[in-house]
Amino acid sequence: MPFLPVLARETRHMGFIATMSTSFYAPFILARTMATMDHLTRGRVGWNVVTSSEDLAARNYGMDALPPHDERYDRADEFVEVVKALWDSWEPGAVVMDAGAGRYADHTKVHPIHHVGKYHRVRGPLNMPAGPQGHPVLCQAGGSPRGRDFAAKHADTILSALVSVPKMKAYRDDVRALATAHGRSPDDVKVMYIVSPVLGETEAEAREQARLAFGMDRLQVEATLAIISAVTEVDFLQFDLDAELPEGITTNGHQSILDDFVRRNRGRTLREALPERARLGARRHARRRAGPDGRDDAGGAAATASSSGSSRPAATPAATSTRSRAGSPPHCAGAA
């Protein structure tokens, strides 16, 4: 988070989305932090809203385990509403900066919010005016039914790792229908599908880089098992690599990743399922840590957004050559 103003200082046409968890922050602290970042970046910042999915992270914040999956989203719904109310607690024109009269703000335009809910009690107002955007861009990556509903209700942009066109279309159609049900214009919710290029000077080099990144030697098998276990809160190292995935695996962790992994690999052994999981981005989770940014859902500073509010995923490793023959497209060794 403190790095965002430094990135903004060195750029002009990029925005930066930081991940912060509704399970570990207090709404007032998060609202103030994001408003500060909005001021320092001159309106080029966004919040990737996550609920977190790892009990190991929860144990750094006085919890034995995270609340149940859907309850985390119930809490997040209230959390986001409180944060928005705090950003709105200063009316436009509240800051007058009248040195002659000794007035910084018009107190009649600054209001407490007096929120009392199931999960939060917040008096308000925010102790600073909202930033240039008013509400920073909200990003989400909900994949479960409850997560999709939450994203459709609150997010300006949604990141998804689906890889087939029919699934992408079905996901987008569902999000648009949910947004309409929440009284929003579906065109206000931008769905972004993640593409992960691996770059090389030639096609051969790109393919070799992809093999090194996603090949399944012993260490890579163990690393991929450890990563998907951490993300889903299911110990995949307990299962036989050369047997089919057992039925009835459940989790209080990242449900959409687990459900997709099991559904895509019915009839295959766990060993056969791992290369695809690696290509879909399991290794990206290895860089995530159990902190208040809750990076187990979507990753810190996971996307860049323009100051107009659009968003695009950050570049992450599938193999593409940076050199191509004149008039021909770059070579591509793989895409996630």
| Nearest residue to 155 (alpha-carbon basis) of 276, 49, 22, 83 | 49
What pLDDT is attached to residue 286? 35
Which of 244 and 316 is assigned the larger pLDDT? 244
Q: What mean pLDDT value characterizes the chain?
A: 82
State what percent of residues in the chain have pLDDT above 90.
Answer: 54
The CA distance from 281 to 283, in Å, is: 5
Q: Tell me the β-bridge partners of 158.
A: 140, 191
Report d(CA 305, CA 11) in Å as an integer: 12
Claim: this prediction has a pTM higher than 0.85: no
Angle in degrees, CA 279, 282, 283, rounded to 5:
95
Among candidate residues 133, 129, 126, 156, the one with its CA nearest the CA of residue 45: 133
What is the pLDDT at residue 281?
54
CA distance 273 to 265: 6
Nearest to 161 by CA among 87, 236, 219, 231: 231
DSSP-derived letter for residue 136 is -
Domains in the chain: ranges and CATH: 4-196+289-313 (3.20.20.30), 198-285 (no CATH)
What tokens does 259 get?
């459900």
What's the chain's length in residues? 336
Reported as half-sphere exposure (CB side, CA atoms, 13 A), residue 161 has a value of: 25
Give the pLDDT band of residue 301 (cuts 50, 70, 90): very low
Quick: pLDDT tens for 88-103: 999 999 999 999 999 9
Least Cα distance to 45 among 83, 13, 16 occurs for: 16
Indicate the pairing of strand 45-50 with strand 190-193.
unpaired
CA distance 216 to 198: 17
Q: Which residue has the tokens 């947004």?
A: 179
User: Is pLDDT above 80 for 334?
Assistant: no
Report CA-CA distances (Å) from 91 to 42, 55, 109: 19, 40, 5
**Whole-number Å distance between alpha carbons of 39 and 87:** 12
- Indicate the SS3 state at residue 32: helix
Nearest-angstrom CA–CA distance, 95 and 238: 60
